[in-house]
Homo-oligomer: A and B are copies of this chain.
Amino acid sequence: MDIVRLTADPLSLDAICREVGSDDCGAISTFSGTTRNSFDDREVVRLEYEAYEEMALSEMKKVCFSLREKWSVKHIAIYHRLGLVPVGESSVVIAVSSCHRRDSLEAVAFAIEQLKARVPIWKREVYGSGDAQWKQNAECHWTQHAKGS
């Protein structure tokens, strides 16, 4: 089962892992990307995310597909939050279950690299000083010229 979601709600690892867990699996690996309180020595108070939703979901499904070509995994969940994400909260969660630990560990590391490279999602950094800046995902080929900063 491949679960890909864009949501405005806070992300719960326990809830997502209940979705990917399976009684015949011995391993669940996860990665959470969280909002940091600074960028280049500037205080960040929150991030806001926007996506080309249809294209983002399509690319997230392709990440699942390419992951299954390489590893034997049971279920995959990729959740990305949209809108406001306060400091310390997760903007992205990837969770993968597998019978044996090596598969899910390697698959999660691969998935976050692929997500950064392929999925058209932007973030707006809001600073303590009150101003803000839209940022393209520097690693994503979709976004490199699509939205100014």
> What residues of chain A have their CB less than 8 Å away from a CB belonging to chain B?
12-14, 17, 21-38, 87-88, 90, 99, 101, 104-106, 108-109, 112
Do B27 and A88 touch across chains, with their CB atoms under 8 A apart? Answer: no
Q: Which residues of B contact A35 (CB under 8 A)?
A: 26
A-B contacts, 21 of them at CB < 8 A, read A13-B13, A13-B14, A13-B17, A14-B14, A23-B36, A23-B37, A23-B88, A24-B36, A24-B37, A24-B38, A26-B35, A27-B32, A27-B34, A28-B34, A28-B90, A29-B29, A29-B30, A30-B30, A105-B109, A105-B112, A109-B109
Give every chain B residue within 8 A of A23 (Cβ-Cβ).
Answer: 36-37, 87-88
Partner of A30, one of B13, B99, B106: B13
Q: What's the Cα separation between A24 and B13 when bound, in Å?
A: 20
Complex-state Cα separation, A88 to B105, whole angstroms: 18
